[in-house]
Structure 1
Amino acid sequence: MKYINPVLILRVLQGVLAFIAMALGATSVNAFNTAKLDIPVPAALAFFTFTAVFTMLLTVPYTLITPRYFPQLAHPMAMLSAEATTSILWLGGFAAVADLLRKNEIVVDAGRPAARGCVAVGVFEL
């Protein structure tokens, strides 16, 4: 009987959470775009959305596919660097959005719940 690799379960969960984070970040950005205000989208929301896309398109596929199919590219230090970079990006992303919420700089009422969701998902993703 084959067993399920627990690392595979964690990577799938990481990808799903990154997708949810991307959707929440995009919802917050969209709220600013549809509000017809003369204020730009906060850079923290754009950075948070970038972090989610970075995780989905680079980190998760690299850590899933490389060890199995390209073991010569799966150097332990390269894997550690990918994970450390992603962790630093998630920490910076959710902290920046939390700071926006703390300062009440998200003036669009439709963007506030999605920004709160960004912080919650970012904490779990970290």
Structure 2
Amino acid sequence: MVSSSVIILGLRAAQLLFAFIVMGLSAYVANWYNVDTLTTPPSQISWLLFVSIFNILSVGYLELAPRFMPKATHPYAALALEASNVLFYFAGFIALSVFISKLLFCRGSVCGAAQADIAFGAFEFLLWTGSAVLMGKDVLKQGFRRPATQAPLSAPQMKEAQGA
């Protein structure tokens, strides 16, 4: 049976790859709006651009902080970070799909990029949902256990050895 840490690592790699894809697609659409139409890009595109950057930072924290800064990690904070990515991607791909559906026409490479942005945003939502469920299961199963850094208050004091 495959351990959950291997599954989580695979999910993180896919999340990171798709984050770069969403960032590239969103940046392409935003650049088209800024250069060719001389208007600001829709807020839905800007939101997915922000979420992809937030995703990259989240994956970095979730994978690197427990290894290099274990005192700066907390299981409930990591779970909240997972849940915020789930909500951000859900809001992003739904809002962009509603925006695209209300356009009078949608053709060309920019429209295709925006539609691909919706699809990869939905994949990211599913990936983050899966990792959030796995992390939530682990957090609820193990509870909050941080390694003790000091002796408990009721520990007996050390005594000097009887000298000769």
Q: Deviations over 1:24-75 (max 9, x none)?
A: 101111121232x35431111011111001111x200011011222222221
Normalized per residue, the structure richer in helix is 1
Query: Does 1:48 pair with 2:48?
Result: yes
Q: Counterpart of 1:34? A: 35
* Structure 1 residues 39 and 54: CA distance shift in structure 2, 3 A: same
Structure 2 unaligned blocks of 5 or more? 126-164
Aligned length: 122
SS in 2 for 1:5: helix
Is the 1:31–1:110 Cα contact (8 Å) retained in structure 2? no
Structure 1 unaligned blocks of 5 or more? none
**Structure of higher CA gyration radius:** 2
Is the 2:19–2:53 Cα contact (8 Å) retained in structure 1? yes
Letter of the 2:116 counterpart:
G
Is the 2:93–2:122 Cα contact (8 Å) retained in structure 1? yes
Tell me by how many angstroms 1:82 deviates.
Answer: 0.6
Q: RMSD value over aligned CA atoms?
A: 2.0
TM-score (norm 1): 0.86
Supply the distance in 2 between the matched residues of 1:90 and 1:41 (Cα, whole angstroms): 18
Q: Percent identity?
A: 30
The structure showing larger relative contact order (alpha-carbon pairs under 8 Å, at least 6 residues apart) is 1
TM-score (norm 2): 0.68
Supply the distance in 2 between the matched residues of 1:6 and 1:67 (Cα, whole angstroms): 17
* Structure 1 residues 11 and 92: CA distance shift in structure 2, 3 A: same
Which segments of structure 1 move beyond 6 Å, counting only runs of 4 or more?
Answer: 105-108
